[in-house]
Amino acid sequence: MEDDMREMTHGELAAMCTNLQKACSKQLRSEEAQLFGLLAAFYEEGREKQEGCGYQDLLDTINEDLASGYQRANAVASKNQDRGSLRALVWGEKVSKLLKSLLVRYEKQKNSLLDGTNVYVCEICGFVYVGEQPPAICPICKVPSFKIQAVQKEAI
Amino acid sequence: MHAARNIALCTKDCVCLFVCPTGATDTENGQIDFSKCLSGCRLCVDACPSHAIYLVSSNYPKPQKKETEVKDSLFDLAASKVKQESMAKALASESDDPVFRQLCKSVAMSNHIMAEDCYREAGYILPQSDAVRSLLKDLLAKEEGKADFPADAVRKLLEKL
Ligand code: SF4
Ligand code: SF4
């Protein structure tokens, strides 16, 4: 039993619940998936707001992951020979580097970086791609492109 | 264990319609009627020329054990990804520029997916596991009675999983 469960924020529980929702869908348990969806929506609603944070704060947090978070987690996962966790860390670190370079490029080029082109996110690993057409397979996790979703430009 | 169809692979050749002893494969929505499927039969799985049918288990083995230190470091990373997701959402909501919002929305989605993956590897991969059950029980104990908390959904999940 997991009696040492640590406190989780609403935002963290929202991600936990959508993860379980997806796992139920994969088993074709649509009712359970829908129930986890309700729970995820409750926690998403209560997500801790980061109002007033700046662009630089976001970049700083990514840099922290890249400077220490991944190193720490990798060391522990290697020591325990946990190949599944190492897999998640390899994907996550690559995606994080990519997000960092995207944010840095946006700072310089502003909207010209994304004007007249599309942005896609891989549903499986979080890979973000800027361009006309997404690649046929995700360069990071290797899923086929139907798992890579376009993100729309929306006016308010 | 019941049969399920990958609609993307099914060519509608209908061999599975001929072999199914209960008619479970013959439905208007393209999916197999699980309530009619006989556990352990698998006739349609072997007959399908397109390898479009597979078996979904009802019982899964216990997931691999996750060491506490691995779990902790993955929870730490997930917390950071969730924080970045919230930051990106805040930046998007405070801007009225569709292009900047698109960027922030993508960053938020990406971080959400990475956080989910951390939890998956931290021992929350299988909804039917002890870890998930005890999490659900904790949440119920803690949030029961709070406005809008879907307590019935959690109870139903504990019953069904
Ligand atoms: S046998 Fe396979 S390909 Fe043919 S209808 Fe059934 S599932 Fe589809
Ligand atoms: S496994 Fe048997 S009972 Fe179930 S759908 Fe296939 S043929 Fe029908």
pLDDT value of residue A4: 64
Domain hosting residue A149, numbered range: 114-156
Mean pLDDT of chain B: 95
Residues from chain A that touch B79, judged by Cβ atoms under 8 A, are: 9, 12
Q: Give the total number of structural domains in chain B.
A: 3
One-letter amino acid of A96:
S
CB–CB of A35 and B91 under 8 A? no
- Model confidence, pTM: 0.93
Residue A9 pLDDT greater than 60, yes or no = yes
Q: In 3D, which of B42, B70, B91, B19 has the Cα closest to residue A85?
A: B70
A125 and A102 both lie in a single domain: no
Q: In 3D, which of A96, A98, A93 has the Cα closest to residue A73?
A: A93
Residues from chain B that touch A155, judged by Cβ atoms under 8 A, are: 96, 98
One-letter amino acid of B34:
F
Q: Answer for the pair A3, B135: CB distance below 8 angstroms, yes or no.
A: no
Domain hosting residue B138, numbered range: 127-161
Surface of A (58-117) touching B: CB under 8 A: 58, 61-62, 64-65, 69-70, 72-73, 76-77, 80, 82, 84-85, 87-89, 91-92, 95-96, 99, 102-103, 106, 111, 113-115
List ligand 2's pocket residues with C-beta within 6 A.
B 3, 19-22, 24-25, 32, 37-38, 41-44
ipTM > 0.90, yes or no: yes
Would residue B150 be called left, alpha or beta, if left means φ above 0 and alpha means ψ between -120 and 50 degrees? beta
CATH number of residue A151's parent domain: 2.20.28.10
Q: In 3D, which of A54, A77, A148, A122 has the Cα closest to residue B77?
A: A77
B91 burial class (0-12, 13-18, 19+ CB within 10 angstroms)? Answer: buried
Diameter of chain B measured on Cα atoms: 59
Residue A155 pLDDT greater than 90, yes or no = no
A56 and A107 both lie in a single domain: yes
Per mean pLDDT, which range of A60-64, B18-22, B55-59, B88-92 is the poorest? B55-59
B119 and B134 both lie in a single domain: no
> In angstroms, what is the span from residue B13 Cα to ligand 2's centroid?
16
Residue B124, φ and ψ in degrees, nearest 5: -115, 50
A41 and A55 both lie in a single domain: no
The model's pLDDT over A23-55, given as tens digits with 9 standing for 90+, comes to: 999 999 999 999 999 999 999 999 999 988 999
The model's pLDDT over B69-115, given as tens digits with 9 standing for 90+, comes to: 999 999 999 999 999 999 999 999 999 999 999 999 999 999 999 99
